[in-house]
Amino acid sequence: MLSKILYLCMMFIHAQLNSFTIMLDPAGDAKQAGRSLPNGFERGATFQFAQALKQQLELQSPDINIILTKKAGETLEELQTANFANNLLVDLLLNINFYEETSIKPSIFIYYYQNQSFFNQSQDFALDFYPYHQAFIFNFDKTKLYANHMQKCLSQAQYKHYFTCQPAYGIPFRPLVGIIAPAIGIEIGLKKNGWEPYLQPIAKSLSEIICR
């Protein structure tokens, strides 16, 4: 418990010293294996991808801070990721998901959180108590901007041969519930060749968001 608090404090100080902090949240944990993929389960693939993406981003932009929400074999409770992200005041959270692609050409989907209450909400944010499922409204425009920018980057002609990037959708995407910072979920359709072909394009799209 003490080590966890110390780790959080260190991360908080580190996050404050750096200009941009990205939190990578791979789907699945020690309890939930996730969806079955051509070479294993979602849990393992997303974690490996998150680690590789962290290394890639650190090489591309050494001044940014990248945090993984969990270590291998760790279990997170519901809303724990949101709690970490909100306490560390991250600038962007990227939730990573994989599924087995059955179509000939794989697809990448980009999601950001939006729910029914958003349509009923007035846009002036008065000092008030907000339930956790309305946390997204504070950075909604920024989130939408990041998601659309990422979609635009991944729809470039050079990637069209490999995959199709679908339009960014605002949906009640459960892994992003309760996060105040801009939070984006990506879902990649994997075939037998694994996640490696997607690493470079996603790292590049994130670098462009950071540059903006």
138 binds another protein (CB under 8 A): no
116 binds another protein (CB under 8 A): yes
184 binds another protein (CB under 8 A): no
Distance CA 107, CA 183 (A): 20
Query: Closest separation between CB of residue 187 and another protein, Å?
Result: 5
Query: Closest separation between CB of residue 34 and another protein, Å?
Result: 7
- Count CB atoms within 10 A of the CB of residue 79: 13
189 binds another protein (CB under 8 A): yes
Q: Which stretch binds another protein (CB under 8 A): 1-9, 43-51, 57-65, 165-173?
A: 165-173
Residue 25 near residue 97, CB atoms below 8 Å = no
Residue closer to another protein, measured from CB, 8 or 76: 76
Distance CA 175, CA 186 (A): 11
Q: Which stretch binds another protein (CB under 8 A): 15-23, 56-64, 79-87, 171-179?
A: 171-179
Q: Which stretch binds another protein (CB under 8 A): 2-10, 12-20, 94-102, 154-162?
A: 94-102
Amino acid at 45: A
Residue 12 CB-density burial (10 A; 0-12 exposed, 13-18 middle, 19+ buried): middle
Pairing of strands 92-100, 164-165: unpaired
